[in-house]
Chain A
Amino acid sequence: MELEFIDRVGKIGFFVSGIGAFLIAFIFGFSYSFDFLFGGIWASCNFFLIRYTVQTFFAVPKNYVKMFFMMSVKFPLLYGAGYFFLGKEDLSVAALLSGISLLYGIMFVEALVKVVRRGIVFVLPFFVISGLEGSLDSDVPEVPGLFTLLSKIFPDSFFALFLHQWETIIFSVLIGITICFVFWFSTRKKEIIPSGLQNFAECIVENLRNFILEVLGPSGEKFVPLLGTLFIYILAMNWVALIPLVKPPTSNLNVTIALALCVFFLVQYLNIKNWGVLGFIYHMAGSPKDTMGWALAPLMFPIELLTQFTRPLTLAFRLFGNVVGEDILIGAAALFGVYLVSIFADVVAGFPMQVPFMFLAVLTGLMQALVFTLLSTIYILLSMPDEEEPSSDNG
């Protein structure tokens, strides 16, 4: 995405939230207008800060002070302001959310203008899907899966309830089987010059292998199957969120924790295998070599212990949080689309407001799968004895 686009959306965001707040103050009152304005400005600031943070990180001469400054402004200050504002007594959630969503609306319109200019009208089929997804009420506007829907239609049926309870497991197993089938099917007739599905499968496997070996070095060959499978499996589980009526299994914390625990136990096994039990304890104490090191060892040990336990937690929560957030965002946008239509007509259909978020979901789904794999690779690398000197600067 070009930077001008981002800047323009942010600026329009400030402008429109100001005008919107002014209008709302006339129609609904000052309190709503204030909530709306805060939401709009908060979202625009967030947007700008993300843009500058990313730019700072990718700037060619690295400026670590600026990086630290951006991170400390972006996360504690911005989110702190949001947190305190949420504690406001007469907070109107609808006004606040409208303010925050305003920016996405602008982004959507801007993007739509670009797309329509290029002559592609792709939005229409989403009207029906949007209506289906949004017309269901639940406590959290999460997009319901097929089995949740069944359990709502047949609340007395034991079978529907059973399916609803096992929804995540069923979908994750189905996804696993589908992946196995696709890869089995693509390598059924092996050809020297691959084409079609075989080409696609080889492309994925080869790139994943290069990606992992770049970090781990040649000794990482034996971890390629595990890490590659993790990537493909997580990616597929994230992306099924885009298929209507399919619930992404990674939006359930149990699944992500299970995946993270697999990596955790593997890394601990490798630690003990590579260093031995005593060597591992010595390593956990910060590998002390002199008196100072030994004096600090009792402090280093709990710190390293905490680090080890934090890793699976971070892996699991980041993946879960991002996927469930995307899911709720899509659900809320779909509901909003239905609400918009219901103003004009009494039909079960909705404006496809969730489409821009679905594009976002494609990106975050890929990134989360990539980060999960990458961090698992790093943890495996750190469990290898030559941790102090990484095998290559590429890692």
Chain B
Amino acid sequence: MYLAGAILVIDKEKQKDLRQFGTFVTIPFVLGGAPVVGWFIGSLLDKIGDTSPFFMYVFIVLGFVAGVREVYRIIRRFGDGA
């Protein structure tokens, strides 16, 4: 725990670098996770409405768009060494 304290007081630039790097590591998870959620929701709707596999495909595509949009948001916020 002492190390946590030590790392938290390192100079602002390093802290920002660490933060920025950590946030970018999240990008693949966002890109991958959104279509998976889309697939899940789509399959659920398909089961309810018996429309298989229409909603599944639509929501996977929507999920991908949502993922890209979220990545854009993350990069917009952290891309400039914020």
Contact B20 A71 (CB under 8 A): no
A314 close to B (CB within 8 Å):
yes
Contact A304 B2 (CB under 8 A): no
Q: Among B19, B24, B77, point to the contact of A370 (Cβ < 8 A).
A: B19
Contact B69 A307 (CB under 8 A): yes
Overall SS of chain B's interface: helix
Contact B28 A75 (CB under 8 A): yes
Contact A182 B1 (CB under 8 A): yes
Q: Among B20, B26, B31, B69, point to the contact of A57 (Cβ < 8 A).
A: B20
Query: 8 Å CB contacts to B: which residues of A311-363?
Result: 313-314, 317-318, 321, 362
What's the Cα separation between A321 and B18 when bound, in Å? 19
Contacts of A54 in B (CB 8 A): 21
Contact B38 A306 (CB under 8 A): yes
Contact B4 A62 (CB under 8 A): no
Contact B19 A313 (CB under 8 A): no
Q: Among A64, A236, A309, A310, point to the contact of B1 (Cβ < 8 A).
A: A236
Q: How far is the CB of A143 from chain B (nearest CB, A)?
A: 20
Contact A307 B34 (CB under 8 A): yes
Contact of A200 with B5 at beta-carbon distance under 8 Å, contacts A306-B63, A310-B34 already known: yes
Contact A366 B4 (CB under 8 A): yes
Residue picked from A236, A299, A374, most chain B C-beta under 10 Å: A374
Q: Among B22, B41, B66, point to the contact of A307 (Cβ < 8 A).
A: B66
Contact B80 A62 (CB under 8 A): yes
Query: 8 Å CB contacts to A: which residues of B9-45?
Result: 9, 15, 17-31, 33-34, 36-38, 41
Contacts of B63 in A (CB 8 A): 306, 310
Number of interface residues of B (CB under 8 A): 44
Q: How far is the CB of B12 from chain A (nearest CB, A)?
A: 9
Contact B79 A371 (CB under 8 A): no
Contact B80 A306 (CB under 8 A): no
Q: How far is the CB of B14 from chain A (nearest CB, A)?
A: 11
What's the Cα separation between A58 and B24 when bound, in Å? 11
Overall SS of chain A's interface: helix
Q: Among B8, B66, B77, point to the contact of A303 (Cβ < 8 A).
A: B66
| Contact flags A65-98 to B (C-beta < 8 A → 1, else 0) | 0010001000100000000000000000000000
Q: Among A302, A314, A368, A370, point to the contact of B30 (Cβ < 8 A).
A: A314
When C-beta atoms are compared, the residue in chain A nearest to B31 turns out to be: A75
When C-beta atoms are compared, the residue in chain B nearest to A60 turns out to be: B81
What's the Cα separation between A378 and B26 when bound, in Å? 13
Contact B70 A395 (CB under 8 A): no
Contact of A200 with B22 at beta-carbon distance under 8 Å, contacts A310-B30, A310-B37, A310-B67 already known: no
Contact B19 A314 (CB under 8 A): no
What's the Cα separation between A206 and B65 when bound, in Å? 39
A173 close to B (CB within 8 Å):
no
What's the Cα separation between A374 and B3 when bound, in Å? 19
Contacts of A318 in B (CB 8 A): 25-26, 29
Q: How far is the CB of A263 from chain B (nearest CB, A)?
A: 14
Contact of A317 with B62 at beta-carbon distance under 8 Å, contacts A58-B17, A310-B70, A395-B82 already known: no
Contact of A371 with B23 at beta-carbon distance under 8 Å, contacts A62-B80, A313-B37, A395-B77 already known: yes
A105 close to B (CB within 8 Å):
no
Contacts of A314 in B (CB 8 A): 26, 29-30, 33
A235 close to B (CB within 8 Å):
yes
Contacts of A204 in B (CB 8 A): 1, 4-5, 8
Q: Among B7, B23, B70, B80, point to the contact of A374 (Cβ < 8 A).
A: B23
Q: Among A208, A307, A362, A374, point to the contact of B19 (Cβ < 8 A).
A: A374
What's the Cα separation between A317 and B28 when bound, in Å? 11
Contact B79 A62 (CB under 8 A): yes
Give the interface of B toward A (CB within 8 A): 1-5, 7-9, 15, 17-31, 33-34, 36-38, 41, 59, 62-63, 65-67, 69-70, 75, 77, 79-82
Give the interface of A toward B (CB within 8 A): 54, 57-58, 60, 62, 64, 67, 71, 75, 182, 200, 203-204, 207-208, 211, 232, 235-236, 239, 299, 302-307, 309-310, 313-314, 317-318, 321, 362, 366-368, 370-371, 374-375, 378, 390, 393-395
